[in-house]
Amino acid sequence: MPLDLTQLSQITEPLLAWYEKNARVLPWRENTDAYRVWVSEIMLQQTRVDTVIPYYERFLRRFPDVAALAAAPEQELLKMWEGLGYYSRVRNMQKAAQQICEKHNGIFPNEYEQILSLPGIGAYTAGAVASIAWNKPYAAVDGNVLRVVTRLTADSREISNTKFKNEITAALQEIYPVDKCGIFTQSLMELGAVVCMPNGAPRCTECPLQSLCSACAAGTQPEYPVKKKQAQRRIEEKTVLIMIYAGRLALQKRARSGLLGGMWELPNLSGKADTAQIQKWLAKHKITQCRIVKGRPARHIFTHIEWQMDSYLIECGQVSADSDFTWITEQDLENEYALPTAFKKVYTQNRPL
């Protein structure tokens, strides 16, 4: 059954009135310049608001505009992003910034199609920037908005279905208030984030849409949204090495493509290696006379993969001058080299330096 536009059209006014009184004060709401909206939206993907705030403020101080981001050295950019994960997001942001400098004179485009054509920007982000920064009637439909709409309409279609998502986007765009597009986008997101919460625990008594909500009337809120069953995560076992030589830690670069592509990592072997296997591996890399001590294991979960990591601390006695590794100090690690969270976990819980 198609979405009921008459029902949806009634949400605009109460939602806007509620947002005006209840919106959280967030740094990216103080100035809705397109560049700032874009940075915040990319950071907020898969990441909690509390985590994003200090990253956002630091990023904006260092890269205050498109030109500064376009010209940033990659290593520094990745360091700024360290801990946020999904590093392709920031690499794509830089590509997009460079494209804006080349094609749009460094000025963030204000046409939806032009925004959508930038690297790393999909319909959600384009809709958020077009509506929040440029007050255009484009919806930004993310998980929060899907949850609100499917509960409101008690629609049990599965939300990863593109046709359904497009239908929701189109229906919302029909009801966008002409002069308050940005506020409307934010009010929908806000309601999903703080009132119509996930995991079957909405705060319906505080909701401005309660009298309009089909799921609330039927007491079926936890049944929405309907999601496809997720495939089980693949487990990968690894042995991670914290190798120290003359007070310096060994890092190496990951292959450019694939998971954490092009990032720095602690040297590691696939599977669970024992001391003899590690010794053989070290010798192959021209590192000898080592003291090897077993460290604490760690686990890291990515979207589709889980790493189960054993760790070893290795004091390297002799290292060939042409060793395959980059040897860095603790200070370098702090200031310059971005180490993905999975490796940072292993390192900090076995901290040797």
Q: Quick check: 165 binds ligand SF4 (CB under 6 A)?
A: no
Query: Tokens 């749009």 identify what position?
Result: 104
Q: Quick check: 251 binds ligand SF4 (CB under 6 A)?
A: no
Closest contact distance (angstroms) between CB of 221 and ligand SF4 is 4
Q: How far apart are CA 145 and CA 267, in angstroms?
A: 42
**Nearer to ligand SF4 by C-beta: 82 or 190?**
190
Give me the helices (H) in 154-293, please: 162-174, 181-194, 214-218, 275-284
- Residues near 243 by Cβ (< 8 Å), separated by ≥ 6? 249, 250, 266, 267, 287, 314, 316, 325
Q: Quick check: 204 binds ligand SF4 (CB under 6 A)?
A: yes
Q: How far apart are CA 38 and CA 115, in angstroms?
A: 10
Q: How far apart are CA 353 and CA 341, in angstroms?
A: 18
Closest contact distance (angstroms) between CB of 211 and ligand SF4 is 8
Q: Quick check: 250 binds ligand SF4 (CB under 6 A)?
A: no
* Region from 56-64, 144-152, 153-161, 322-330 binding ligand SF4, contact rule CB under 6 A: 144-152
Q: Quick check: 225 binds ligand SF4 (CB under 6 A)?
A: no
Residue 261, CA distances (Å) to 88, 91, 97 in order: 8, 11, 20
Q: Quick check: 210 binds ligand SF4 (CB under 6 A)?
A: yes
Q: Do the strands 234-245 and 305-315 form a parallel or antiparallel pair, or are they unpaired? A: parallel
- Judged by CB under 6 A, the residue of 115, 146, 148, 183 near ligand SF4 is 148
SS3 236: strand
Closest contact distance (angstroms) between CB of 141 and ligand SF4 is 15
Q: How far apart are CA 34 and CA 68, in angstroms?
A: 15
**Nearer to ligand SF4 by C-beta: 159 or 215?**
215
353 HSE (CA, 13 A, CB side)? 19
Known catalytic residues? 41
Residue 178, CA distances (Å) to 97, 131, 184, 313 in order: 29, 10, 10, 61
Closest contact distance (angstroms) between CB of 213 and ligand SF4 is 3
- Judged by CB under 6 A, the residue of 216, 250, 278, 339 near ligand SF4 is 216
- Judged by CB under 6 A, the residue of 34, 84, 140, 209 near ligand SF4 is 209
- Judged by CB under 6 A, the residue of 221, 239, 268, 311 near ligand SF4 is 221
- Judged by CB under 6 A, the residue of 213, 243, 282, 339 near ligand SF4 is 213
Closest contact distance (angstroms) between CB of 202 and ligand SF4 is 4
- Judged by CB under 6 A, the residue of 8, 44, 196, 314 near ligand SF4 is 196
Closest contact distance (angstroms) between CB of 1 and ligand SF4 is 18
Q: Is 200 exposed, middle or buried (0-12, 13-18, 19+ CB in 10 A)?
A: exposed
* Region from 2-10, 24-32, 147-155, 335-343 binding ligand SF4, contact rule CB under 6 A: 147-155
Q: Quick check: 238 binds ligand SF4 (CB under 6 A)?
A: no
- Residues near 83 by Cβ (< 8 Å), separated by ≥ 6? 55, 341, 344
Binding map of ligand SF4 across residues 76-115, x = CB under 6 A, - = no contact: ----------------------------------------
**Nearer to ligand SF4 by C-beta: 93 or 195?**
195
- Please tell me the count of residues contacting ligand SF4 according to CB under 6 A: 15
Q: Quick check: 333 binds ligand SF4 (CB under 6 A)?
A: no
Closest contact distance (angstroms) between CB of 253 and ligand SF4 is 46
The CB density around residue 149, as the number of other CB atoms within 10 Å, is 27
Q: Quick check: 40 binds ligand SF4 (CB under 6 A)?
A: no
> Which residue type, as a one-letter code, is found at position 330?
E
Q: 285-298 b/e with 16+ CB inside 10 Å = b?
A: bebeebebeebeeb
Residues that bind ligand SF4 (CB under 6 A): 148, 151-152, 195-196, 202-204, 207, 209-210, 213, 215-216, 221
